[in-house]
């Protein structure tokens, strides 16, 4: 599959929001774009989906390739159920695929309720299912982890990894760098409308080096017991559990920690350190 952005520019009146965006990718890749709010990520995705038009530049894709995605907060008809929305938006809805994704994302209990009664996390899941059911060659996800709980984030990561194996090209943005550095093939940093950095070596190092994780859980003693049994190195500081270990070791324990009531979780990764460094240098 061919996918290339050549010198994409976009301005709103006198303000240029995208400057000479160049990116080349193929099928079976996950491309992540990281940046602050307002840096141009969503504008770029809107251009790709035909929701906005670039002032200059070219988008090159194979003839017949299908591109679909969600940008910003997914919007649906609030007076219709989730199932009715999908039936309306997806041509020739495959009920077997629908049932599979509903089960994976734990949506069975509310898919037949009006979307107007959905929480933000429920709407986010519905948007993800919509993209997956379109079975497009190129899938775009703008901040898909927003409002998702830790288990939902882990499930999404597994689903997108499977889509990658099917030969799909996945373009994704997120402020959740833990989510991105675990499985993205390439990371682009967008600063002020420019793609200014790409570094796969950070991703490779982060998977083998010791990094810091911080958990806040409601059942701290149970969480500590799980980590001790798994041989994960940690300390307890107030209401937080701080882990310094290799990422893969923590990932193996993450699902087991879900019943302990994870209230907050963040990771101080090589990717996040590099991103902060770049942001500071640009300002």
The whole-number average pLDDT for the span 39-45 is 93
Answer yes or no: do 140 and 116 share one domain. Answer: yes
Residue 49 to residues 18, 23, 53, 260, Cα–Cα distance (Å): 16, 16, 9, 40
Query: What phi and psi values does residue 156 have, to the nearest 5 degrees?
Result: -60, -40
DSSP letter string over 187-242?
EEEEETTEEEEE-HHHHHHHTTSEEEEEEEES-HHHHHHHHHHHT--EEEETTEEE
pLDDT classification of 207: cutoffs 50, 70, 90: low
- Does residue 204 lie within any of the structural domains? no
End-to-end CA distance of the chain: 37
- Residues 145/176, Cβ–Cβ less than 8 Å: yes
The whole-number average pLDDT for the span 53-77 is 93
Q: At 240, which CATH number?
A: 3.30.70.250
pLDDT classification of 259: cutoffs 50, 70, 90: confident
Say yes or no to pLDDT of 253 above 90: no
Question: What does the alpha-carbon distance between residue 199 and residue 32 come to, in Å, rounded to a whole number?
Answer: 11
- How many separate domains does the chain show? 2
pLDDT classification of 23: cutoffs 50, 70, 90: very high
pLDDT classification of 221: cutoffs 50, 70, 90: confident
Q: At 175, which CATH number?
A: 3.40.50.300
Which of 176, 198, 220 terminates a domain? The answer is 198
Residue 7 belongs to what domain range? Answer: 3-198
The mean of the pLDDT values for the chain is 85
Which of 164, 198, 232 terminates a domain? The answer is 198
DSSP class of residue 134 equals H
The pTM assigned to this predicted structure is 0.77
Answer yes or no: do 156 and 213 share one domain. Answer: no
Out of 89-93, 131-135, 146-150, least confident range: 146-150
Say which residue the tokens 């980590």 belong to: 227
Answer yes or no: do 99 and 168 share one domain. Answer: yes
Answer yes or no: do 217 and 265 share one domain. Answer: yes
Answer yes or no: do 55 and 155 share one domain. Answer: yes
pLDDT in tens, 88-116: 999 888 889 999 999 999 999 999 999 99
Answer yes or no: do 108 and 216 share one domain. Answer: no
Count the helices and strands in the chain (H runs, E runs): 10, 13
Residue 116 to residues 13, 61, 78, Cα–Cα distance (Å): 35, 36, 4
Q: At what angle do helices 150-165 and 95-104 cross, to 10 degrees?
A: 140
For the chain, the C-alpha Rg in angstroms (whole number) is 20
The whole-number average pLDDT for the span 10-21 is 93
Report the percentage of the chain scoring pLDDT > 70: 83
- pLDDT score at 243: 81
- Taking alpha carbons only, the member of 154, 163, 98 closest to residue 136 is 163
- Does residue 203 lie within any of the structural domains? no
- Does residue 147 lie within any of the structural domains? yes
- pLDDT score at 231: 82
Burial of 95: CB neighbours in 10 Å, binned 0-12, 13-18, 19+: exposed
Answer yes or no: do 191 and 213 share one domain. Answer: no
- CA 84, 86, 89, 91 dihedral sign is negative
- pLDDT score at 115: 97
- pLDDT score at 263: 61
- Does residue 68 lie within any of the structural domains? yes
Answer yes or no: do 28 and 162 share one domain. Answer: yes
- Does residue 224 lie within any of the structural domains? yes
- Does residue 187 lie within any of the structural domains? yes
3-state percent breakdown (helix, strand, coil) of the chain, nearest 5: 40, 30, 30
Question: What does the alpha-carbon distance between residue 200 and residue 71 come to, in Å, rounded to a whole number?
Answer: 25
- Residues 220/239, Cβ–Cβ less than 8 Å: yes
- pLDDT score at 277: 66
- Does residue 37 lie within any of the structural domains? yes
pLDDT in tens, 173-206: 988 777 776 678 888 888 888 887 665 555 555 5
- pLDDT score at 125: 95
- Does residue 182 lie within any of the structural domains? yes
Answer yes or no: do 21 and 111 share one domain. Answer: yes
pLDDT in tens, 265-274: 656 655 666 6
Say which residue the tokens 């200059």 belong to: 56
Say yes or no to pLDDT of 72 above 70: yes
Q: What three-state secondary structure class fits 145?
A: coil
């Amino acid at each position: 599959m061919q996918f290339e952005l050549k010198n994409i520019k976009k301005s709103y009146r006198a303000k240029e929001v995208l400057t000479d965006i160049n990116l080349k990718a193929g099928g079976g890749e996950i491309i992540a774009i990281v940046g602050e709010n307002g840096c141009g990520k969503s504008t770029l995705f809107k251009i790709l989906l035909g929701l906005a038009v670039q002032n200059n530049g070219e988008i090159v894709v194979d003839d017949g390739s299908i591109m679909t995605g969600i940008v910003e907060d997914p919007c649906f008809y609030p007076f219709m159920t989730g199932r009715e929305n999908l039936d309306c938006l997806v041509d020739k809805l495959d009920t077997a695929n629908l049932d599979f994704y509903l089960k994976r994302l734990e949506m069975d209990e509310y898919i037949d309720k009006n979307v107007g009664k959905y929480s933000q996390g429920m709407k986010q899941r519905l948007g993800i299912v919509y993209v997956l059911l379109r079975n497009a060659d190129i899938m775009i996800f703008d901040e898909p982890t927003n409002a998702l709980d830790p288990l939902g984030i882990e499930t999404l990561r597994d689903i997108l990894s499977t889509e990658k194996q099917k030969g799909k090209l996945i373009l994704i943005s997120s402020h959740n760098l833990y989510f991105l550095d675990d499985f993205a093939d390439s990371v682009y940093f967008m600063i002020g409308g420019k793609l200014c950095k790409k570094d796969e070596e950070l991703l490779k190092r982060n998977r083998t080096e010791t990094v810091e994780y911080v958990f806040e859980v409601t059942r701290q003693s149970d969480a500590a017991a799980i980590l001790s049994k798994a041989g994960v190195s940690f300390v307890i500081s107030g209401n937080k559990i701080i882990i310094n270990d290799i990422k893969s070791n923590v990932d193996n324990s993450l699902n087991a920690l879900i019943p302990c009531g994870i209230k907050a979780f963040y990771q101080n990764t090589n990717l996040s350190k590099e991103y902060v460094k770049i942001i500071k240098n640009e300002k």
